[in-house]
Structure 1
């Protein structure tokens, strides 16, 4: 055992317990405390800590937080929600609408984007109709994780695979290999959530949707402009990736450009900036530092070497990427795994995409989008505990993995 690993385990315990005596520990506080400890103890140098922080991810989140907060403060998000969901007349229909709607949207807009925009939306729907907020937070988390699997821009790790692995037709490759098992997994997720929360549906009354008025029409116009910029730039990025153009648009640039209208043109820009989710940005910076500190010790690499298995086989890729993503997050895991697949075929790459992404359905720290959802939920007076997530997520995650493995085995042949 070494100090970095001990600190990481302690952080997991704090996130699971969330309390020390009378004090409530937030996720960002636990991770930030762990990063401070490893820095103070010299487990990682300040230079290595700064290098470990992915500033492209940080800027993307900053821009998306600004867009999301503009949508909430203007009331435009809830206005859109009424237009989209007022046709659903039962809790079952609403659950299915959120599950499949969030999944398909995350394939286009990226999972972290949906986590930012979707959290206040599902909480409002739950409160408006007297439904269990934990059910809808879980639905959102599982939906955007699954939906992002089948797209090269659904999440950062898939984008890394698509851009660095030399796939000739990334959208076609991801869709053909992963769309069918993703749809099956969404159906399984719906059935499991219906069963676990069956009491909720037995007592639920027919839904009555209340019309929603814009809170700030001027800010709503800027929110609409930001949303159009966001969607438009993502479509441009999809076209550029499909054409394998040398011109690339970073996701951070897309998010920052989309955030410009409210920041530059709204008189409430200062209050908007103050209300951003700065705690989540602290969480991500601290997580990069803490996981880099653990990785530098080499303990995980030695444990993997001790297994003496073929790291390029599909089962090994899926199991290792899923398990290690719980400890060092899926984006750095994929960045470290890709060099081992220099001669990897599409089956290996799709296994890496599925395994590293579906890790988010097991535990809270398995995906950044999970943490964004919980941090945002706590801002809006709700929460989702570690054990609440795990009791559904662990069995669901194993089923998800099995379905992806069986399909990849069928699609590409035994490996």
Structure 2
């Protein structure tokens, strides 16, 4: 048991730090090494390890990544970014459009893919308009995190929570959709207020090493965009009707989009985040191995005796929110859901996980993958967003959204 616990702690230390101390091993590498180490020392058998990997979650996530990748390859994301950024409106109104578009796209498509595809172009078009890109990128990132919390397909952690707790698409939307929607004006209002008078740049304020020339855009393929949109609508309808397993719906949609005469399947698959799929698979095995020791169950028992009950949605909400900023959104949900007993509060617990990890993840850069992507992509474009800058705006956004979500979850407990 000591060896199993040591491996588990090393894996989650890497989740928190972003790498394994002393080694060039990132989160995905740590998860895979941990899974193999658990099998090597006998903490879990090879067959049990395969069984531990939830094929339903992996299948659904992979399929939806392909759907989102099809939009990227059709040029839709670049087209949407340019349309938004070139609107003839003032900075405050443009910020509102950024927030709405980010929240809407992230709720319907995998938020991380949306952020990866659109961040570089948003930097170039804001600079071309002599606008300070930082508030727009922050608002875009924050809205992606909070908006994606509203639907089952908005983020990987939502998919994992819904799959493990047995929550339907409509059930998830009914308990998480409203607070996610209300979070968008909160994001817009706080960013607009904190950057009042700082939206525009003078020519002298634009660093010389940053080009304001807009890059050549990928042309919009209307036919492929419409095809991806039709498939997406069909997926959502199938999820709502719930007559077929979600992973089969997602994989069927992926297969249809990959069978293409104009866009290479290799290009679409290039948009799939294989590292995330491997990370999740590795964590399934690591968590199952620790569960075999009985230690997590024992800890939960003593926590319950001490007054901390993770099956209480409010306790789960704050626990998941805190952990998400330590080890990340996906690892947090994967760590918690195997030990939950949802009963009659499954939907409320799903909302607690989605809103806790989604809303509080705006506190620090490393609280979400979207935050890391935006900051790193912006840096590659020559725009620096420091830890202090991110948290100065992200903290009030997170706190207000968390207070709103606390009231909402309390309402759910009284009325569901």
TM-score range, shorter chain: 0.7 to 0.9
**Does the CA-based 8 Å contact 1:78-1:121 persist in structure 2?**
yes
CA offset at residue 357 of structure 1?
3.3
**Does the CA-based 8 Å contact 2:106-2:114 persist in structure 1?**
yes
Distance 1:388 1:30, change over 3 A: farther
Distance 1:107 1:289, change over 3 A: same
Distance 1:293 1:374, change over 3 A: farther
1:230 to 228, 231, 240: 228
**Does the CA-based 8 Å contact 1:4-1:290 persist in structure 2?**
no
| Matched position secondary structure for 1:413 | helix
CA offset at residue 369 of structure 1?
4.2
2:188 is aligned with 1:190: yes
Query: Any residues of structure 2 matched to 1:57-136 within 5 Å, and which?
Result: 59-60=62-63, 63=66, 66-67=69-70, 69-71=72-74, 77-136=77-136
| Matched position secondary structure for 2:345 | coil
2:334 is aligned with 1:332: yes
Distance 1:383 1:52, change over 3 A: farther
Question: Could you give the per-residue CA deviations for residues 376-409 of structure 1, whole angstroms, max 9, x where no partner exists?
Answer: 6567666756665445434432322221111232
2:13 is aligned with 1:9: yes
**Does the CA-based 8 Å contact 1:91-1:201 persist in structure 2?**
yes
Distance 1:273 1:403, change over 3 A: closer
Question: Could you give the per-residue CA deviations for residues 263-315 of structure 1, whole angstroms, max 9, x where no partner exists?
Answer: x435x777x479x468x533552464257536744666655444222322221
Q: Which consecutive residues of structure 2, in runs of 5 or more, have no partner in the other structure?
A: 204-211
RMSD of equivalent CA atoms: 4.4
Q: 1:319 is matched with which residue?
A: 318
CA distance in 2, matches of 1:148, 1:215: 26
CA distance in 2, matches of 1:192, 1:82: 24
1:244 to 227, 242, 266: 242
2:59 to 22, 46, 56: 56
Distance 1:225 1:16, change over 3 A: farther
Query: Any residues of structure 2 matched to 1:214-293 within 5 Å, and which?
Result: 220-221=220-221, 224-246=222-244, 248=246, 249-261=248-260, 264-266=261-263, 272=267, 276=270, 280-282=273-275, 284-286=277-279, 288-289=281-282, 292-293=285-286
CA distance in 2, matches of 1:245, 1:122: 39
Q: Answer with 294-303 or 115-124: which moved more.
A: 294-303
CA offset at residue 235 of structure 1?
1.3
Q: 2:208 is matched with which residue?
A: none
2:402 is aligned with 1:401: yes
Question: Could you give the per-residue CA deviations for residues 303-333 of structure 1, whole angstroms, max 9, x where no partner exists?
Answer: 5444222322221121123234453525524
**Does the CA-based 8 Å contact 2:359-2:401 persist in structure 1?**
yes
Q: Answer with 354-363 or 381-390: which moved more.
A: 381-390
| Matched position secondary structure for 1:187 | helix
CA distance in 1, matches of 2:373, 2:137: 11
CA distance in 2, matches of 1:228, 1:407: 36
Distance 1:395 1:81, change over 3 A: closer
- TM-score, normalising length: structure 2: 0.72
**Does the CA-based 8 Å contact 1:118-1:140 persist in structure 2?**
no
CA offset at residue 103 of structure 1?
0.9
**Does the CA-based 8 Å contact 2:316-2:353 persist in structure 1?**
yes
**Does the CA-based 8 Å contact 2:320-2:333 persist in structure 1?**
no
**Does the CA-based 8 Å contact 1:35-1:289 persist in structure 2?**
yes
CA distance in 1, matches of 2:254, 2:380: 21
Question: Could you give the per-residue CA deviations for residues 114-144 of structure 1, whole angstroms, max 9, x where no partner exists?
Answer: 3344334423333333444443333222212
CA distance in 2, matches of 1:253, 1:380: 37
Question: Could you give the per-residue CA deviations for residues 219-254 of structure 1, whole angstroms, max 9, x where no partner exists?
Answer: x43xx3332232212211222233332365533443
Q: 1:307 is matched with which residue?
A: 303
